[in-house]
């Protein structure tokens, strides 16, 4: 049953022999009687870089929590590496939203990366050369070697993100999830983190799913996009999804898409303005045509 769902949403044109690293199949979540996610479905293959785009309250964090196994879906299922999600562990690397690290805590960048390797183990860690070298190598890979011995709480936002990414990657996960890693970063750090993630994704063949409320920083490197509004999602290439007719149906509200020097602006329009494009996009859009209005999505977590 679930397998059929996965097959149905597999887009043509992608190598059929490469198995999906992540398959989200018809996931729905209800929290406090409210439908937070509705029939979300998409898949990611190894080495793919996918942006999860939506405003606050669109359901991005809830979706990431479902993939992580922190939230049970009411309907549908999540499959990682072809197997049903069996809880937390090292198959998925995770960089949470807005981590506030205490600058008074005696924890160096290299300590936090080491905890990514064996933080769930019991007992006192015995210092070993192999472990130390692996940590150092990982710090180099994310460009964090220069501040490896500084307290992680005293680092800048961009530096902390690099350390978090190293922490998430050192256990060699097949899937890397990042929740709003670009929030509160300056433009330069933002670009650096995006290109770092894109490089790691290609070099190591890791599937990357990164949530953001702003699509433009990810446009140059994104293989595909999962666009969310009000708990519903449309997935495909940016060319397929970021179109006025698709987003208008997703939001349930007239939306215009303006292209400007390789960037896109998604702006709300008036419902009585002329509608653009066809409504025949069911292969990329899995939203209910009678979706609630955009303004209800605001203020929701």
User: Applying CB under 8 A, which residues contact another protein?
Assistant: 68, 70, 87-90, 92, 94, 96, 99, 101-108, 111-112, 115-116, 118-125, 147, 149-152, 154-155, 164, 167-168
Length of the chain: 301
Closest to another protein by CB, 109 or 287: 109
Q: How far is the CB of 172 from another protein (least distance, A)?
A: 14
Closest to another protein by CB, 208 or 255: 208
The CA-based diameter of the chain, rounded to the nearest angstrom, is 68
Q: How far is the CB of 41 from another protein (least distance, A)?
A: 23
Closest to another protein by CB, 4 or 188: 188
- The token duo for 254 is 């007239």
Closest to another protein by CB, 116 or 252: 116
Q: How far is the CB of 185 from another protein (least distance, A)?
A: 17
Q: How far is the CB of 127 from another protein (least distance, A)?
A: 9
Closest to another protein by CB, 99 or 264: 99
Closest to another protein by CB, 104 or 280: 104
Q: How far is the CB of 30 from another protein (least distance, A)?
A: 21
Q: How far is the CB of 256 from another protein (least distance, A)?
A: 37
């Amino acid at each position: 049953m679930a397998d059929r769902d996965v097959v149905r949403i597999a887009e043509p044109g992608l190598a059929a022999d490469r198995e999906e690293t992540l398959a989200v199949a018809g996931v729905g979540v209800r929290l406090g009687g409210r439908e937070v996610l509705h029939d979300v479905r998409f898949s990611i293959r190894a080495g793919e870089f996918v942006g999860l785009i939506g405003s606050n309250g669109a359901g991005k964090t809830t979706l990431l929590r479902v993939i992580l196994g922190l939230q049970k879906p009411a309907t549908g299922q999540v499959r990682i590496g072809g197997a049903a999600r069996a809880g937390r562990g090292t198959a998925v690397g995770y960089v949470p939203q807005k981590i506030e690290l205490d600058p008074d805590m005696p924890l160096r960048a290299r300590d936090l990366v080491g905890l990514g390797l064996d933080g769930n183990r019991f007992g006192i860690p015995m210092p070993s050369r192999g472990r130390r070298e692996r940590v150092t190598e990982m710090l180099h890979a994310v460009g964090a070697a220069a501040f490896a011995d500084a307290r992680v709480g005293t680092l800048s936002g961009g530096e902390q993100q690099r350390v978090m990414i190293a922490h998430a990657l050192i256990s060699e996960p097949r899937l890397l999830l990042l929740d709003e890693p670009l929030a509160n970063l300056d433009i330069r750090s933002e670009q650096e983190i995006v290109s770092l993630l894109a490089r790691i994704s290609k070099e190591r063949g890791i599937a990357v799913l990164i949530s953001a409320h702003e699509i433009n920083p990810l446009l140059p490197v994104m293989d595909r996009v999962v666009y969310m509004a009000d708990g519903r999602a449309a997935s495909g290439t940016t060319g397929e999804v970021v179109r006025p007719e698709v987003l208008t149906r997703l939001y349930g509200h007239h939306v215009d898409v303006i292209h400007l020097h390789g960037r896109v602006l998604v702006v709300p329009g008036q419902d009585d303005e002329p509608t653009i494009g066809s409504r025949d996009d069911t292969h990329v859009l899995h939203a209910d045509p009678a979706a609630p209005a955009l303004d209800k999505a605001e203020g929701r977590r």
